[in-house]
Amino acid sequence: QTGVLDNAQGLAEQAQTLAEVFRQEGYETWAVVSVPHLGPEVSGLAQGFDSYVAPLDRDHDLADSLPRLEKRLNEPQTQNRFIWLHLFDVHAPYDPPAPWAASTERGDEPPLEPGAVPTWNLTAPSAAFLRSQYQGEVSYLDAALGELLARPDLARAQIAFTADHGESLGNHSIWWDHQG
């Protein structure tokens, strides 16, 4: 019905979006997305949004995306708002900021098996280190979203969280990816 089967196919124009429904009901509709393939030209997902901010050249992380949303949130509110914030941080290369970053000390963890060495971190000391980095990304987002949701102007907001996948951290011999 939507026409979307992968990241390279855009939304069919006849598909009705949640943003269109909210806008018809008088809401301001904004989106801040963090990856170029969700940009309006590729995804078609800007359908129904009054404002749709997407990167053009590279993936953005929370430090790029959240200030764009907060700038809008700080504007005087004249009507109800429907907001979509898309975050992409918990994807390789798993590089959370301090204090969420893992120690590079290996301890007694064995080195990575040859098939488990990620192309984006050829010097990773162990699988435990990379799993800790992944957990650090999750904890970093959790803390930042907690601060965002503590804003007084969002106290009565309706909030929905979704996710499209998790990473494979060695399960079924799939390492550091979400394919398959």
* Res. 66: pLDDT tops 80: yes
Q: Which run of H or of E encompasses 127?
A: helix 127-149
Mean pLDDT of 103-129: 84
Mean pLDDT of 35-39: 93
* Residue labelled with tokens 């079924």: 172
The whole-chain average pLDDT of the chain stands at 89
Q: What is the pLDDT of residue 83?
A: 93
135-159 confidence digits (pLDDT tens): 999 999 999 999 999 999 888 787 8
Mean pLDDT of 41-52: 94
Q: What is the pLDDT of residue 116?
A: 87
Cα dihedral 148, 24, 75, 51 sign: positive
Q: What is the pTM of this model?
A: 0.87
* Ramachandran class of 172: left when φ > 0, alpha when ψ lies in -120 to 50, beta otherwise: left
Share of the chain above pLDDT 70, in %: 98
Q: What is the pLDDT of residue 147?
A: 94
